[in-house]
Amino acid sequence: MLRAGHTDPIYFGHDVNPDAALHTCETLLVVYSGARVELARVAAGAARRTGVVGSMVEAGRTMSASTDPMQSPEWEAARHDWYEQSRTQLDTLQQAVNGATPGSLALETIYAPMHDMAGLAGVFGYDMLGKISRSLIETLRKGANPLDARMLMIAKAHLVALAALHARDVRGDGGPQGLTILTKLASIHA
C-alpha cells in the first residue's frame, strides 16, 4: 500500500525493500465489462526525481495528483459510470427474473452480472450492494440450474433489495438498516 508522509519518496510497507521497490511500477487495474481501466500508476523514476508519491494515469492521460485516488475527479467519473451501468444491469435482471417461470432461466443469466457487481461495488464504496450481490451468487450456486421456483424467489428478493438501495445511492455498509436487510435476505435462504 502506498502512503504519503514518510521520509522515503515512496513507501510500500514494512515488508518490501524500498530500494528494490523504486525500480518497479505498481499499477492498480480494475476490470469492468472486459474493459481495462487503468486507475493509478506510480512511476518510481519520477518519484525518485521529484519526491512525490506518484502520478495518476487513466487511459494514457495524467490524472489529478492525490494521496487518495478515490478523491480525484477521474475516480468520481469512473464511479459514476459504474453506477449508471449497474442501474441498467439491475433493471435488465429484474425484468428477466420477473418474466421467468421455474426452469426457464439459466443461472448464467444472473451469475455473471452479479459476480461483477459483487466485486466492483465495494471498490466504488457500495459495500452493501457488494454483500447482497455476493450473497445472491453464493446461494444460486447451490441451487438448481435452470432456476427453480425457490431460486427465482430468492433472486427476486435480492434484486428488489439491490434496486432499492441503488436508487437511494446507499454507500458503505448501510448501517443498522443494512444489517436488517442482510438478516432478512439470509432468512429466506434457510
Query: What tens digit of pLDDT does each residue of 91-141 get?
Result: 999 999 999 999 999 999 999 999 999 999 999 999 999 999 999 999 999
**Residue 150 and residue 99 share a domain:** yes
Cβ proximity of 63 and 74 under 8 Å:
yes
Strand partners, 51: none
* DSSP per position, 41-63: EE-HHHHHHH-SS-BEEETTEEE
Same domain assignment for residues 63 and 78: no
Work out the burial of residue 97: count CB atoms within 10 Å of its CB; fewer than 13 is exposed, 13-18 middle, 19 or more buried.
buried
The answer on 86 and 139 residing in a single domain is yes
In total, how many domains does the chain have?
A: 2
56 and 150 together in one domain: no
What contacts 147, CB < 8 A, 6 or more positions away? 100, 102, 103, 105, 106, 107, 110, 140, 155
Its pTM stands at: 0.66
Q: What is the CATH number of the domain that holds 108?
A: 1.20.120
Same domain for 178 and 159 = yes
Q: Give yes or no: residues 65 and 79 share one domain.
A: no
Instruction: Give the pLDDT confidence of 129-187 residue by residue, as tens digits.
Output: 999 999 999 999 999 999 999 999 999 999 999 999 999 999 999 999 999 999 999 99
- Its domain, for residue 31, covers 18-69
